[in-house]
Amino acid sequence: MNTLNPNEVEKFQAMANEWWDPQGKFKPLHQLNPTRLEYITSKIASTYHRDVAEQLPFKGLRLLDIGCGGGLLSEPMATLGAEVLGADAAPNNIQVAQLHAQQTGLTIDYRHTLAEHLLEEGEQFDVILNMEVIEHVANPNLFLEACGRLLKPGGLMICSTINRNIKSYIVAIFGAERVMRWLPVGTHQWQQFIKPVELQGMVEQANLTLIEQQGFVFNLLNWRWSISAKNLSVNYVMSIKKPIDSIDKKDYSLVRE
């Protein structure tokens, strides 16, 4: 068993060259990125008692950006001083990410790999960014469990995805793909969206602790994203911690045979 979904990988392979084009097929992510970064940096800073106003505030922290795409989150984390490993199942994404990091002078360890393969290699991280990925994998429970095992005890995982309801179909699929043409038709599959209560169950099953959940809300009037404590109807994010006394059993049922 593994988490690879070949159909999803193929979609992102085809779009890989557009990752850093703010007007291209990843325009919605470029628009969302400042809000994602605001949330991510605040949670890492509060968890590890860092001052983001200082130079390289995340120095000494090892961070995994799982499903890193072209590096839209990996690069800002490296700029803030974190030791970043960016992993993606699509090799074209990794090539684009590596090239862009070279152009910007950043040192980032990009790898074409899966979460369960990193687990097999004995990797461990202080922080895992699991952003807009879980709805694209073959087995969300397996994926989240593997990510949980990659976290050090006391570590932080930030996981965002899309709710599954009528509104999310209208906004994320019909609106974004068919009306606004922000994304190619078929980028998302509504049945693969995950309700917050379902994700919370996966978190608990993986022996992790949900700290909080927030919504990412797009305002059509001012054309901006914002963070909401109540509105999780479409895009939402969870802060998850691994208990400090957690001890992983040496069970490699997750890794490839």
Binding-site residues from annotation for S-adenosyl-L-methionine? 36, 67, 88, 131
- C-beta separation of 19 from 69 below 8 A: yes
Rg (alpha carbons) of the chain, rounded to whole number: 17
Residue 100 backbone zone (phi > 0: left; psi -120 to 50: alpha; other: beta)? alpha
Phi, psi of 152 (to 5 degrees): -70, 150
Residue of 45, 237, 233 lying closest to 158 (CA atoms): 237
Close Cβ partners of 37 (under 8 Å, ≥ 6 residues apart): 73, 76
- C-beta separation of 58 from 46 below 8 A: no
Write out the binding residues.
36, 67, 88, 131
